[in-house]
Structure 1
Amino acid sequence: MTTIALQVNRRAVEISAEPRTSLADFVRDGLDLTGTHLGCEHGVCGACTVLLDGVPARSCITYAVACAGADITTIEGLDEDEVTTELRAAFTREHALQCGYCTPGMLVSARDLVLRLPDADERRIRVGLSGNLCRCTGYVGIVRAVQSVIEARRARNIAPLADGGRTILGPAGSGRATSGQNGPQPATQALAAASDSVAPGAIPDFTPATVLNQRFTLPHAPAKVFAMFDDVAGVASCLPGVSLKAPPTPERVEGAIRVRLGPIAASFEGAARVERDPATFSGRIIGIGTDQRSRSATQGEIRYRLLPLEGGAATAVELSIGYTLSGMLAQVGRPGLVRDLAKRLVAEFAGNLDRHLSGTAPGQATAAELSFWSMISEVLHARLVRMFGRVFTGKDGAE
Structure 2
Amino acid sequence: MNKIQLTVNGSAIEPTVEPRTHLADVLRDQLDLTGTHLGCEHGVCGACTLLLDGAPARSCITLAVACAGAAVTTIEGLDEDEIAAELRVAFTREHALQCGYCTPGMIMSARDLVLRLDHADEHAIRVGLSGNLCRCTGYAGIVRAVSAVIAARRQRGIAAVIGAGRTSLGPVGSQPGAIAAAASPARPAATGIKRSGDLALGSLDPSEVMPAKSFDASFTVNAAPEQVFALFGQPKTLAACFPGATITDLPAPDRIEGAISVAIGPLSAVFRGSARIDRNAADLSGRLIGTGRDRRSRTSTSGQISWRMLPIDEGRATRVALAIGYSLSGPLAQIARDGLVRDLASRITTTFAQNCDRHLNGTAGPTETPEPQRLNALALLLDVARKRLTGLAQRLRGP
TM-score normalised by L of structure 2: 0.52
Contact map agreement 2:240 2:372 (CA 8 A) in 1: no
**Counterpart of 1:218 in 2: which secondary structure?**
strand
| 1: CA distance, partners of 2:291 / 2:281 | 25
Superposed, 1:97-108 pairs within 5 Å as: none
| 1: CA distance, partners of 2:299 / 2:85 | 22
| Partner amino acid, structure 1, of 2:218 | F
- After superposition, what is the alpha-carbon deviation per residue over 1:3-58, rounded to whole angstroms, capped at 9, x for unaligned? x969xxxxxxxxx9864665355xxxxxxxxxxxx9x5335553748785885555
Contact map agreement 1:258 1:370 (CA 8 A) in 2: yes
Match of 1:12 in 2: none
1:304 Cα offset (Å)? 2.4
Give the 3 Å change call, closer, same or farther, for CA 375–59 of structure 1 in structure 2.
Answer: farther
Contact map agreement 2:47 2:132 (CA 8 A) in 1: no
Match of 2:280 in 1: 277
Q: Does 1:315 align with 2:314?
A: no
Structure 1 gap ranges (5+) = 7-15, 26-37, 89-100, 136-141, 150-159, 196-200
| 1: CA distance, partners of 2:216 / 2:290 | 19
Contact map agreement 2:41 2:61 (CA 8 A) in 1: yes
Q: Does 1:69 align with 2:77?
A: yes
Contact map agreement 2:28 2:34 (CA 8 A) in 1: no
| 2: CA distance, partners of 1:134 / 1:254 | 40
Give the 3 Å change call, closer, same or farther, for CA 130–367 of structure 1 in structure 2.
Answer: closer
Q: Does 1:23 align with 2:35?
A: yes
Match of 2:332 in 1: 332
- After superposition, what is the alpha-carbon deviation per residue over 1:257-278, rounded to whole angstroms, capped at 9, x for unaligned? 4432332445667765543221
| 1: CA distance, partners of 2:185 / 2:377 | 31
1:344 Cα offset (Å)? 2.2
Contact map agreement 1:218 1:315 (CA 8 A) in 2: yes
1:69 Cα offset (Å)? 3.3
Match of 1:376 in 2: 381
Q: Does 1:42 align with 2:53?
A: no
User: Residue 263 of structure 2 is aligned with which of 260, 263, 273?
Assistant: 260
| 2: CA distance, partners of 1:21 / 1:356 | 49
Contact map agreement 1:221 1:308 (CA 8 A) in 2: no
1:283 Cα offset (Å)? 2.4
1:240 Cα offset (Å)? 1.4
Give the 3 Å change call, closer, same or farther, for CA 358–132 of structure 1 in structure 2.
Answer: closer
| 2: CA distance, partners of 1:125 / 1:192 | 24
User: Residue 218 of structure 2 is aligned with which of 209, 216, 221?
Assistant: 216
Contact map agreement 2:201 2:255 (CA 8 A) in 1: no
- After superposition, what is the alpha-carbon deviation per residue over 1:209-265, rounded to whole angstroms, capped at 9, x for unaligned? 765544213255433321221233432332113345689985455655443233244
Match of 1:306 in 2: 308
Superposed, 1:35-184 pairs within 5 Å as: 41-43=40-42, 46=45, 48=47, 52=51, 67=74, 69-70=77-78, 73=84, 77=88, 79=90, 131=131, 166-169=166-169, 179-180=179-180, 182-184=182-184
1:372 Cα offset (Å)? 1.9
| 2: CA distance, partners of 1:175 / 1:386 | 64
Contact map agreement 1:232 1:248 (CA 8 A) in 2: no
**For the aligned residues, what is the CA RMSD?**
6.2
| Partner amino acid, structure 2, of 1:320 | I
1:306 Cα offset (Å)? 0.6
- After superposition, what is the alpha-carbon deviation per residue over 1:98-155, rounded to whole angstroms, capped at 9, x for unaligned? xxx99996xx68x969x789xx9x9x999988756799xxxxxx9xx9xxx9xxxxxx
Contact map agreement 1:240 1:367 (CA 8 A) in 2: yes
| Partner amino acid, structure 1, of 2:45 | G
**Counterpart of 1:46 in 2: which secondary structure?**
coil
TM-score normalised by L of structure 1: 0.52
Q: Does 1:351 align with 2:368?
A: no
Match of 2:69 in 1: none
Give the 3 Å change call, closer, same or farther, for CA 345–173 of structure 1 in structure 2.
Answer: farther
| 2: CA distance, partners of 1:130 / 1:247 | 47
| 1: CA distance, partners of 2:126 / 2:197 | 46
| 2: CA distance, partners of 1:387 / 1:169 | 65
Superposed, 1:3-14 pairs within 5 Å as: none
User: Residue 209 of structure 2 is aligned with which of 202, 207, 210?
Assistant: 207
| 1: CA distance, partners of 2:291 / 2:129 | 42
Give the 3 Å change call, closer, same or farther, for CA 60–209 of structure 1 in structure 2.
Answer: farther
| 1: CA distance, partners of 2:292 / 2:253 | 19
1:168 Cα offset (Å)? 4.2
